[in-house]
């Protein structure tokens, strides 16, 4: 299955989108702090979500023109959901650290270790997981409509070539909920209650 998977051009577009994400991120931070050109840095950082737009457009066009739905289309939807939900946080995480090391900015603040602050932090992070799930589902709906396919029932997701990724995302979201916000809420530790995390 891996051989046929890598034979699909859309998969290589996903790889290109991931590479493009890091290229735009590093170029934007380099322009902002290395060249001291904040305007150019901001423009380059706008290229990060542009890669997502290219990916979802290509996926939709492929199905709309008769392409067979595959796990690669589902992977494209999941990738988009993750980058939309976590991409901004990753950019901010990198920006804070580069600013601290290169431009004398404040040191990154570590995530809280316990108490109410930790609980709030875990729920906030889990909100991104939910956002990633929602975006993934929305893109899968869009791809299904473009391909003229009916939406499968949740029980059928694991067997569907595209929607199986949403089944995986649902499992991950469930585990994250238990070990993240639920655990922090039920078993708050007595660590530093005042720190706030930077992500």
DSSP string, 8-34: SHHHHHHHHHHHHHHHHHHHHHIIIII
> Could you tell me if 11 and 62 are in contact, meaning their C-beta atoms sit under 8 angstroms apart?
no
* Structure-token match 């804070």, residue found: 96
* Biggest alpha carbon–alpha carbon distance for the chain: 57
pLDDT band at residue 193 under the 50/70/90 scheme: very low
User: Residue 16: pLDDT above 80?
Assistant: yes
Express each pLDDT in 41-93 by its tens digit.
888 888 777 888 888 888 888 888 888 888 888 998 999 999 889 988 888 88
Q: Is the pLDDT of residue 3 over 80?
A: no
The percent of residues above 70 in pLDDT, for the chain, comes to: 91
- Which tens digits make up the pLDDT trace of 132-172? 999 999 999 999 998 888 889 999 999 998 999 999 999 99
Please, which residues have CB within 8 angstroms of residue 27's CB and are 6 or more apart in sequence?
44, 47
Predicted confidence at residue 190, as pLDDT, reads 55
pLDDT at 2: 43
User: What local confidence, expressed as pLDDT, does residue 131 receive?
Assistant: 97
Which of the pair, 31 or 197, is modelled with greater confidence?
Answer: 31
79 vs 192: which has the higher pLDDT: 79
Token pair of 18 as six digits:
């991931």
Q: Which residues contact 139 (CB under 8 A, 6 or more apart)?
A: 56, 59, 76, 77, 80, 81
Which two structure tokens, joined as six digits, stand for 71?
């796990």
pLDDT (0 to 100) of residue 7? 44
Percent of residues, the chain, with pLDDT higher than 90: 36
17 CB-contact burial (10 Å; exposed 0-12 / middle 13-18 / buried 19+) = buried
Whether 180 shows a pLDDT value over 90: the answer reads yes
Q: pTM for this structure?
A: 0.81
d(CA 47, CA 175): 32
């Amino acid at each position: 299955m891996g051989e046929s998977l890598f034979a699909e051009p859309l998969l290589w577009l996903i790889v290109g989108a991931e590479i493009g994400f890091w290229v735009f991120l590093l170029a934007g931070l380099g322009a902002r702090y290395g060249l001291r050109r904040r305007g150019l840095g901001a423009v380059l950082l706008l290229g990060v979500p542009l890669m997502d737009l290219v990916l979802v457009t290509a996926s939709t066009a492929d199905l709309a023109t008769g392409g067979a739905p595959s796990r690669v289309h589902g992977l494209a939807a999941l990738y988009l959901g993750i980058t939309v939900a976590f991409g901004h946080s990753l950019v901010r995480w990198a920006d804070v650290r580069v600013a601290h090391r290169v431009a004398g900015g404040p040191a990154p603040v570590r995530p809280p270790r316990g108490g109410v602050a930790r609980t709030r932090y875990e729920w906030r992070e889990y909100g991104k997981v939910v956002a990633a799930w929602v975006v993934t589902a929305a893109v899968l709906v869009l791809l299904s409509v473009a391909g003229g396919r009916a939406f499968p029932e949740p029980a059928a997701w694991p067997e569907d070539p595209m929607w199986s990724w949403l089944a995986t995302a649902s499992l991950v979201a469930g585990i994250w909920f238990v070990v993240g916000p639920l655990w922090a809420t039920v078993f708050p530790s007595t660590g530093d209650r005042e720190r706030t995390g930077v992500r």
